[in-house]
Amino acid sequence: MGVACSHRPAKSMRLAVPAIDPAALAGWDPHAAVMEFDGATMGTRWRARFAAPAQLDLPRLTRAIDAMLGEIVAEMSHWAPDSLISRFNRAPAGRWLALPPDFATVMAAALDVAAKSDGAFDPAIGALVDLWGYGPVSRPQPPDAAAIDVAAAQGGCRQLRFDPHARRLQRLGEVQLDLSGIAKGYAVDRLSAVLAAHDVRHSLVEIGGEYVGRGLRPDGDPWWVELETPGALAAPIRVALHQHAVATSGDYVRGRHTIDPRTGRPVAHALAVSVVHASAMLADAWATALGVAEPDEMMALAEAHSLMVRALLRRRDGVSEWISPALAALVAG
């Protein structure tokens, strides 16, 4: 999650400014009109703010966005009983499922982050999510320890077989997919790509608090996004999102709903973990993984993979802030 800003940052604000990619300047028009529109998707809202090219066909662009988001929901929403992911979760063990390109892209990235994070992120956590009542069906009481252990033992991406070249996926047991920790980020990337395909090269797009910025505003400023900072626990940080994305995982809005796939239980230490990345899909997945990992493990993972991270972590003596070296190198003030 993040807070978009439409004005210049205050001097007291900490700023993170990645190096400007020359691609951010292509087609920049200081006289372009800034437009903003939005819609509903994935149980939340999508928003786009952009410098409009002179010949923009807005109805055509809106139809393309709606079609793209509809396809992602139809493939990857475990809240929709007729979605592809829901059908996969009901299929007999051992059956191969052919994957559309979007699903295969997300699956490959999810399994890669799962491997690199030593299982702190896992796309096959659906049974645990449902057991805790964080999925489509709510639960009045938390599950007992025995049920948690059984679900954790039966699930996990070790129970999947993925063939990226043939774009097919197989479940080896009663494992259940849940792509909630990565699919929204992918949808933000695709939303930005749809705009670019309609010659909208300078934009800030969002779905449910995850952002992608491309190019510059007509006034020459980047698209500024403030990292989510609950209360006054740390000085705010605003990021210049030219050719970058940001995603945040935390429990300050919805409560402690992030499950550690390795233990089957929600984590309590991560108040908010923000990741800035070139890909919203990977920012989304890494924010989830780092929010699951214990603080020392989280810091080691972020440094090992050169990730730009700001974390607010609960300690015995209160909440502390940690900024990874990759992000600290960009922060001034």
pLDDT tens per residue, range 221-259: 999 999 978 777 788 899 999 899 999 987 665 556 788
What is the pLDDT, as a whole number, of residue 230?
A: 75
Q: Name 163's bridge partners.
A: 168
Torsion of CA 65, 66, 67, 70, to 10 degrees: 120
Helix (H) or strand (E) holding 195: helix 183-197
C-alpha span between 245 and 205 (Å, rounded) = 9
With respect to residue 15, please indicate whether it lies within any of the assigned structural domains. Answer: yes
DSSP β-bridge partners for residue 171: 160
Asked if the structure places residue 141 within a domain, the reply is no
127 burial (CB, 10 Å; 0-12 / 13-18 / 19+) is buried
118 annotated binding-site participant: no
Which has the higher per-residue pLDDT, 31 or 319? 31
Report the number of distinct structural domains present in the chain: 1
Domain CATH number, residue 275: 3.10.520.10
User: Residue 269 above 60 pLDDT?
Assistant: yes
Mean per-residue pLDDT of the chain: 90
Task: Say how far apart CA 47 and CA 141 lie, in whole Å.
Answer: 36
> What's the confidence (pLDDT) of residue 91?
93
Whether 227 is covered by a domain: the verdict is yes
Are the C-beta atoms of 195 and 51 separated by less than 8 Å? no
Q: What's the CA gap between 113 and 121, in Å, rounded?
A: 7
Does 284 show up as a binding residue in the annotation? yes
- Measured between its terminal Cα atoms, the distance across the chain in Å is 23
Report percent pLDDT > 90 for the chain.
Answer: 71
Q: Is residue 175 predicted with pLDDT exceeding 50?
A: yes
Q: Residue 78 corresponds to which tokens in the numbers above?
A: 């475990």
Alpha carbon distances (Å) from 77 to 21, 42, 89, 241, 320 = 34, 8, 12, 28, 35
Q: How far apart are CA 310 and CA 237, in angstroms?
A: 9
Q: Judge whether 214 and 196 are in contact, CB under 8 Å.
A: yes
Q: How confident is the model at residue 314 (pLDDT cuts 50, 70, 90)?
A: confident
Quote the distance between the C-alpha of residue 237 and its chain's center.
19
- Is residue 161 situated within a structural domain? no
Integer Cα distance of 89 and 171 in angstroms: 8
pLDDT tens by residue, 78-87? 889 999 999 9
The per-residue pLDDT for range 180-230, each reduced to its tens digit, is: 999 999 999 999 999 999 999 999 999 999 999 999 999 999 999 999 787
Q: Does residue 44 have a pLDDT over 80?
A: yes
In a domain, 92, yes or no: no
- Classify residue 36 as exposed, middle or buried by CB count within 10 Å of its CB (0-12, 13-18, 19+): exposed
pLDDT of 177:
96
pLDDT digits (tens, 9 = 90+) for 134-173: 888 778 888 899 999 988 888 899 999 999 999 999 999 8
Phi then psi for residue 10, to 5 deg, are -70, 155
Annotated binding residue at 288? Answer: yes
Maximum CA pair distance of the chain? 63
Mean pLDDT of 103-113: 98
CA–CA gap between residue 90 and residue 192 (Å, rounded): 33
pLDDT in tens, 57-71: 999 999 999 999 999
- CA 203 to chain centroid: 18
User: Residue 314: inside a domain, yes or no?
Assistant: yes
Band of residue 10 on the pLDDT scale cut at 50, 70, 90? very low
By residue range, what is the domain housing residue 284?
2-55+207-332
Tokens of 103: 């699903």
Quick check: is 107 in a domain?
A: no
Q: Which of 46-55, 303-312, 314-323 has the lowest mean pLDDT?
A: 314-323
In this structure, are strands 237-240 and 14-16 parallel, antiparallel, or unpaired?
parallel
- What number of other Cβ atoms are within 10 A of residue 101's Cβ? 9
Residue 83: inside a domain: no
